Amino acid sequence: MPIFSEYSNYDGVGLAELIRKKDISAIDALDSAIDLIERLNPKLNAVHRTMYHYATESINRNQNMDGIFAGIPMLLKDMDSSLANYPMMQGSNYLKDTVMPYDNYLTKSFRQSGALICGKSATPEFGLAITTEPLAFGATRNPWDSNKSTGGSSGGAASAVSSRMVPFAHASDGGGSIRIPAASCGLVGLKPNRARTSFGPSHGDKWGGLTHSGIVSRTVRDTAYMYDHLFSTTVGDPYSVSYEKGSLIKSLEGKQKFKIGVNQLSRTGLEITEEAKKAIQFNAKLCEDLGHDVEEMEFTHDGLLAVRCFVVIICSHVNQMFNELKDVVGRSFKKSEVETATRLFSYLGKSFRASDYTWARYNLQKIARQIMEDTDKYDIVLTPIISQPPPNIGELRPNKQGTIIGELIQTLKLGFLFKNSSLRDAFLDRLAPESLWYAPDAMIQNITGQPSISVPTYWTKDNLPLGVQFASRYAEEDKLINLAMQLEESAPWIQRKPNI
């Protein structure tokens, strides 16, 4: 097996250039990725399915090495990435060995970039947790400290990229699931603007427009080049936003000056740690030193109302998801096949009324307008994305008490209680401190649809990454790429490697 010993020193753009110049071959890059996956995955559990033969066949089908990332190994997240004749398990025993009958448009787009899909990355069950520890497959571990969480739901992708198995990997974000793992694992994680990528042919949008698809990577330029390739709409998409091809790549050049607002206060009432505040202050100072206009700003929306609405929408879509999966699998799930928390989401979704769903959509749209009005005077807003350095494995999973309560609600069929808006709101308000403490405001840009990026400029004294988030106005990813490139040059992170 020909191993390219310097493989892990290059990002995707760099490896693609070596392949184009014939300094190395696509097989060299793939074999190097395979070697790292085989050596590191037993320690990290980042890859749930290897697809080496499929990747080799992709090289044979692309003899001309067409595509900006021709010959570069990558992983598909085992969600939102349907690949014909392969399972999409979504971290659940319910979907083990259920083969998908089609390629979705996003998967096709990754292939058209020339990238080699060599495996499926780990996810929590159905992407419903902000840590990647599904009972069906076990915990995915953080390369910087194997006792720590990677975050979620794109935790497998983040662990694999951070450990340098692959230079980038598919990720998706319905409430922080690109940015939280990126911040936890020392990566660049851009959640793109709403409608940048298609969910066709199976869906128009997911989670009522809250979900976005993209990648995690180690460098800003990989992010810019891949999103420049991915951004497009297809016939039948419910909405679209225009994009000029090449503009993200062009934004890597020059050093624009921005007006940047800084906020450290969560509207949910949850507090971030002193370490997370230091990360914000470090980045604010970095921006000032680069010549940007930086000032404090405030959000004014009702954070707990946003949480209530968010949960109502997600639960409703989870219940409908199981209706769809029943057709895919050929039967309903067995209780033993699906985790308690996931079943509770579905049960609540069945208990909420159509009026609850429309109430939640209406209020989230009002909140989105308010957030965008609060931030419109700024080019970019700097906020926390995680509240502390990565916590230990197990700390982000539902605790024993929460699991018991979830089982009781379902066993005693207490769904009727949630038809009372006061009881519903009291229950949902309790979820905020219990389930959102690690990333209390990650959902804000999912609500507004605005782009936001996590960058790994800050590291703790224990050598743990603690990323922060920059968000821009609607459809202005180019500003985020330009600023992120300046930050990467000023406080470079590419030379940092986990000791695994």
pLDDT tens, 398-436? 888 888 889 999 999 998 888 888 888 888 888 777 789
- Look at residue 419 and tell me if it is in a domain: no
* Contact in structure between 168 and 201 (CB atoms under 8 Å): no
- Helix/strand/coil for 195: coil
* Residue 239 covered by a domain: yes
Determine, yes or no, domain membership for 268. no
Q: How many distinct structural domains can be found in the chain?
A: 1
Name the average pLDDT for the chain. 96
User: Angle at which helices 220-230 and 12-20 pack, to 10 degrees?
Assistant: 80
- Residue 324 lies inside a defined structural domain of this protein: no
CATH of the domain at 48: 3.90.1300.10
Q: Is the pLDDT of residue 1 over 60?
A: no
Owner of token pair 């069929």: 413
Domain membership flag for residue 343? no
Domain containing residue 64: 13-256+453-490
Does the residue 151 lie in any domain? yes
Residue from 124, 109, 361, 112 nearest 213 by CA:
109
* pLDDT tens track for 267-276: 999 999 999 9
- Kindly tell me if the per-residue pLDDT of 489 is higher than 60: yes
Indicate whether 70 belongs to any domain: yes
- Let me know if residue 220 belongs to a domain: yes
Give yes or no for residue 480 having a pLDDT over 80. yes
pLDDT band at 240 (very low <50, low <70, confident <90, very high): very high
pLDDT of residue 435: 85
CA distances from 14 to 23, 307, 401, 433, 487 (A): 11, 41, 49, 43, 20
**pTM for this entry:** 0.97
Mean pLDDT, residues 227-246 taken together: 95
